[in-house]
Structure 1
Amino acid sequence: MTSGDAGFGEIARAMADALRASAGTASSAATLQLRHTGGAVSCCAWTDVREHLSVDFGPIAQLLWDRPPAALEVRLDPGGRYTFTARPDVASVSPGRLVLDAGFRCPGHPRPGLPRLAAAEPAGAPTDPAVLAEVTRLTSEFAALYAGIKGDPPPWPSGRTEADLAAAEARIGVRLPEDLRALYLVADGDPRESGLLGPYSHDPLGELVDHYLDGEPGSYGWEDEPDDDGVVFETAPFGHVKRLSRNDWWVTFGSDRSGNYLAADLDPAERGRPGQVLDYGRDIYGPLRYVAESITAMLTEVVEALRAGKYEDPDDDGTYLFPETGLRDAATRSYSEVISNAAAVELPSAVAGLPGRELIQEVYLNDAGDVDLSAFGPLESLRSLSVNRAGAVTPAIGGLAALGSLRIDADRVALAAVAGHPVLWDLQLTGVGAPLDLTVLRTLPRLTRLGLERSAVPDWGPVCALPALRVLKVDADQVRDLLGSGHPLPRLAALFVSGRTTLREMSELCAAFGDGAPEGKVTEFSGVLP
């Protein structure tokens, strides 16, 4: 730990002044916490008698811009004495967020380094002549049909060369699908959105390379933080796309210019094929969307639509053409289902009456009374189940072979019913007033994340003994009970603490759950306002 100013003197004084201006002269202590990420500053403030304070921290934020990210706190007593604390390695305070292993990922969230298929190795060979001939034929026919409608040829940039493609592939370390290579030999992108790929257009080759090399290789990266929901759902039709949050071998190559992106999948699941096209982005929450089996299939569908006269030609622009294709149609029902006012329905009948239930992967059950979760047995693809505001819950989930995440907010939970589930990795028990016997958790071999906020935990021993536990979510009182329990603490990747915590307490947690606080990590000093 360090003490003294360490360059924080002006900031500490400004925080104390702002806090006193907000708290007034009340005879209670006040706290102001700031989190500076390097790009934003967030604020939390309260007094011992007021739960929330509104503090003008804009001027303080200006003082932080040139400093490294850190969590900062000022505690101010009624007499004007304040204590300032700063620590760079605490993600947030109130609620507390402590990431002890930045490399940790939840199941289904792989780090970079996935194995590359032999066919995707960038060997530098020229594009397959048969594929090139077919793509050339389709794009030529599109160009002729487009010119017949618009009066001018499509405004495509000139194509790239085989040498350009080989150089790009050498940079990203993967060979592009043969039909995508052929498309680049025809045109280096479609910046004016001619409609060649329906509602999408492909990017220039250089942009593809830059996108791939920006950050982690590949595409997507969905809910990879340890406190995200993190359940990875399967893309329909099932079996075509690997159920991963990201993949080194998903190569983004285009978009709809509205926040949704096309990716070529070079690492398909068992029923898929290399080069199949996926969609992800602003309008797609959950699994990626399967667009087509190939770029060639997309081109074919577009050309067939134009042949049949199925297109829109806006009058207000001279380049746009909108072929009427099914490339954006949702092929199946939503993967998610909500059952509200569950206490008033016959749950087994409600589940049996759901259409397309073999495709349901997520269910929210709201306002249930006493409920037995075995009623969800017919949902064979269910991966995430949330029970909200229930009475007594019997989580008989043995028949839900795919269930990875179970979240229960209830008065009582018969926890023995989860015994032995082979794939359950996320269990959240919130607000359970009846004491929980957590010994059954030892029978869950993949239990990686556990939440117990506002639940009655009489014995922390079973929690500390969980061999696979890496993420723990508790409230401030529980973490104090855990620290005082005398049990060896679990080796966590992340700890999340709901409610009010102080930066001093988070520093103590760093020391307790991590490797301590190396010299220089904590700055602390005191001062007095006039």
Structure 2
Amino acid sequence: MTAVDAGYGEIARAMAGALHAGAGAGWTAATLQLRHTGGAVTCRAWSDVHEHLTVDFVPIAMSLGGKPPSALEVRLTADGGYTFTARPDVAAVSPGMLVFDAGFRYPGHPRPGLPRPAGTEPTTAPTDPAVLAEVTGLASEFAGLYTAIKGTPPPWPAGRTEAEVAAAEARIGVRLPEDLRALYLVADGDPAESGLLGPYSHHGLDQLVADYLEGEPGSYGWEDGLHDDGVVFEPAPFGRMKRLSRNDWWVTFGGDRAMNYLAVDLDPATDGRPGQVFEYGRDIYGPLRLVSGSITDMLTEAVSAVRAGKYEDPGGTYLSPETGLRGGDERSYHEIVSKAAEVDLAEAVAGVVAPELVQLLYVNDAADVNLAVFEPLGSLRQLSINRARSVTPSIAGLPELESLQIEAGQVDLAALAGHPALWDLELTRVGSPVEVAVLATLPRLLRLNLEGSAVRDWGEVCALPGLKVLRVDAQQIPELLACGKPLPPLAALFVSGQTTLRQMSELRTAFGHGDADGEVVEISGTLT
């Protein structure tokens, strides 16, 4: 449905006026695009003489508060004439984004509804008496040590009752680990950061419930969007945590109060322990970080440190036991090889410390490289080759590889045939025509990026059986539409470069989504 105004008249005129004010001199046509998500507004503007324009769009953004999420565009001519369009069915323009299936998830990114682990059903049974005695004893000893150091007891809120803990568990639908239950019976959080859990502190029970129920149940949610990179890396040591972006059975209960958070894992991998503790947040990029085998272990480590006089007293309510809970100099999950054309890659790989732990590798500015040289990195899950002369992607010896990103003048795609794990492939700025047919032999291929590459037959792209996300550039769109083959049933299409809202609307129709999901607004006018 197309509306003439629908309350956008003043917004259209304001966008045209702001664009005219920021366009400078000497232009004949200019474009301003806004993306209104409902929570934020982003801007892109250009003219026929300037690739980027600075436009004061803040007052316009403020006026969009009551409007539905939309892509908005004004096209302006030097004589003051403008056309305005707002479309709720186009996610973004310049770069363009069309989402046809918002519920699609990449591998390792499960939606809510994961199977319930045994023993996690909420019950009214009291906390295990042995665990309660141990946790209470550790907390009591810590409190005595703290009092002797500070001259006052730790300012912990009073503990909760068994009934209150059970009620909280009923709300979130999961029974907490016995030692976490016991901790809440001792103290309902540690807002003063006394040091009871070393560098961390637990939140109040009500906050635990609120955090669990916010958004999707559970914890984390790393790069779950269709626009995200999406490869999930495994925490070390391998085999203890499931390699997932989120889990219904991860429960956030505390953190360092600096945007890093602690969670208990009730759904561990084969070698893990129910109730093990991991960290995620601002300073944890890539794999999650395993902190401890249990909350009881954390308490034991903090108490042992203070008992041995290994602590710092920074004043106030803070006490800092010298624990290993923050981790040390663990081996990073990734490696970078710079100026690769000047490096013997086989020697570089042979010199990697703990190669079995490397999951991500960047190789920059290579000459001619055969990817078989990286086979000693058997846990590699993502490999990025940037600005190479030519690449032979022999990856049969990299069985865990899920994502391969190649930017090169020439690529021998025949070497990719049949790889069992690869679901993400980027072939960007490849100079020689790309033969796409071999990609049909990749059983898990879900995402393909061909930006800036010459593609011999776009019909072969449309024929890829499992393709769900495609990335192209604005110059490739006419070739894709003209290939004469049915377009694939994508979950999302991304288009880099400058695109117009009209082009993105035409693409949406071409992919079988002709009717707008919501009201389309079109307005024409003139600035006077």
**TM more than 0.5:** yes
Q: Distance in 2 between matches of 1:287 and 1:299?
A: 24
Q: Quote the sequence identity (%).
A: 71
Secondary structure at 1:455 match in 2: coil
Q: 2:404 aligns with which of 403, 406, 423?
A: 406
Structure 2 counterpart of 1:53, one-letter code: L
Question: Is contact 2:211–2:252 with CA below 8 Å preserved after alignment?
Answer: yes
Q: How many residues align?
A: 528
- Deviation by residue 1:32-85 (Cα, 9 ceiling, x = unmatched): 111122232211111123211121222222322222221111111233221111
Q: Provide the rounded CA distance (Å) in 2 between the counterparts of 1:321 and 1:520.
A: 56
Long gaps (5+) in structure 2: none
Partner of 1:165: 165
Tell me which residue corresponds to 1:516. Answer: 514
Q: Displacement of 1:514 after TM fit?
A: 4.3
Aligned residue number for residue 281 of structure 2: 281
AA at the equivalent of 1:392: S
For 2:291 and 2:100, how far apart are their aligned partners in 1? 39
Partner residue in 2 for 1:81? 81
Look up the match of 2:343. 345
Q: Which whole-Å CA distance do the structure 2 matches of 1:330 and 1:64 have between them?
A: 48
SS of residue in 2 equivalent to 1:119: coil
> Which of the numbers 402, 416, 419 marks the counterpart of 1:418?
416
Alpha carbons of structure 1 residues 409 and 320: separation in structure 2 relative to 1, 3 Å: same
Q: Which letter does structure 1 place at the counterpart of 2:515?
A: A
Deviates more, 1:401-410 or 1:510-519: 510-519
Pairing of 1:44-443 with structure 2 (within 5 A): 44-314=44-314, 316-317=315-316, 319-330=317-328, 332-443=330-441
CA distance in structure 2 between the partners assigned to 1:519 and 1:265 by the alignment:
39
Distance 1:262 1:27, change over 3 A: closer
Tell me: CA distance 1:274–1:514, structure 2 relative to 1, closer, same or farther (3 Å).
Answer: farther
Aligned-pair CA distance for 1:442: 0.6
Q: Give the Å deviation of 1:275.
A: 0.2
- Once the two structures are superposed, what CA deviation does each residue of 1:365-397 show, in whole Å capped at 9, x if it has no partner? 001011111110000110000000100000101
The 1:91/1:384 distance shift into structure 2, 3 A limit, reads same
Rounded to whole Å, the distance in 1 between the matches of 2:514 and 2:140 is: 66
Matches of 1:517 and 1:415, distance apart in 2: 38
| Equivalent residue, structure 2, for 1:40 | 40
- Distance across 2 between alignment mates of 1:152 and 1:27: 72
Kept after mapping to 2: 8 A contact 1:120/1:266 = yes
Amino acid paired to 1:201: S
Task: Find the aligned partners of 1:287 and 1:513 in 2 and give their Cα distance.
Answer: 36
Q: Is the 8 A contact 1:190 1:202 kept in 2?
A: yes
How much does 1:519 deviate?
Answer: 7.4
> 1:92: how far off?
1.1
Give yes or no for contact 1:432–1:454 (8 Å, CA) kept in 2.
Answer: yes
- Residue 491 of structure 1 pairs with residue 480 of structure 2: no
In the alignment, the residues of structure 2 paired with residue 322 and residue 520 of structure 1 have an alpha-carbon distance, to the nearest angstrom, of 55
| Paired residues of 2:27 and 2:47 also in contact (CA < 8 A) | no
DSSP-derived class of the 1:337 partner: strand
Q: Match for 2:179: what amino acid?
A: D
More moved, 139-148 vs 188-197: 139-148
Q: Is contact 1:2-1:520 (8 Å) kept?
A: no
Q: Which residue of 2 aligns with 1:503?
A: 501
Asked whether the 8 Å contact 1:25–1:78 carries over to 2, the reply is no
CA distance in 2, matches of 1:249, 1:147: 36
Q: Larger deviation: 56-65 or 355-364?
A: 56-65
Letter in 2 for 1:93: V
Q: Which sits farther off after the overlay, 327-336 or 193-202? A: 327-336
CA contact (8 A) 2:27 2:49 kept: no
Q: Residue by residue, what CA displacement relative to the aligned partner does 1:274-298 show, whole Å, maximum 9, x if unpaired?
A: 0000000010001110001100111
Query: Structure 2-normalised TM-score?
Result: 0.98
Matched residue of 1:410: which SS?
strand
Q: Deviations over 1:201-238 (max 9, x none)?
A: 01111110011001100111001111211110000010
Give the whole-Å Cα distance in 2 for the aligned partners of 1:10 and 1:20. Answer: 15
Q: CA deviation at 1:525?
A: 2.4
Q: Over aligned residues, Cα RMSD in angstroms?
A: 1.2
Q: Of the candidates 451, 454, 468, which is equivalent to residue 453 of structure 1?
A: 451
Q: CA deviation at 1:356?
A: 1.0
Superposed CA deviations along residues 88-122 of structure 1, whole A, max 9, x for unmatched, are: 12221000011111111111101011111121111
TM-score where L is the length of structure 1: 0.98
Structure 1 ranges of 4+ moved more than 4 A: none
Does the CA contact (< 8 Å) of 2:89 and 2:516 recur in 1? no
Q: For the Cα contact (< 8 Å) 1:100–1:514, is it kept in 2?
A: no
CA deviations over 1:4-29 (Å, ceiling 9, x no partner): 11211111111112222222463521
For structure 1, the residue ranges without an aligned partner over 5 or more in a row are: none
Equivalent residue letter for 2:21: A
Alpha-carbon distance in 1 for matches of 2:27, 2:469 = 39
* Secondary structure, aligned partner of 1:138: helix
Matches within 5 A, 1:474-485: 474-485=472-483
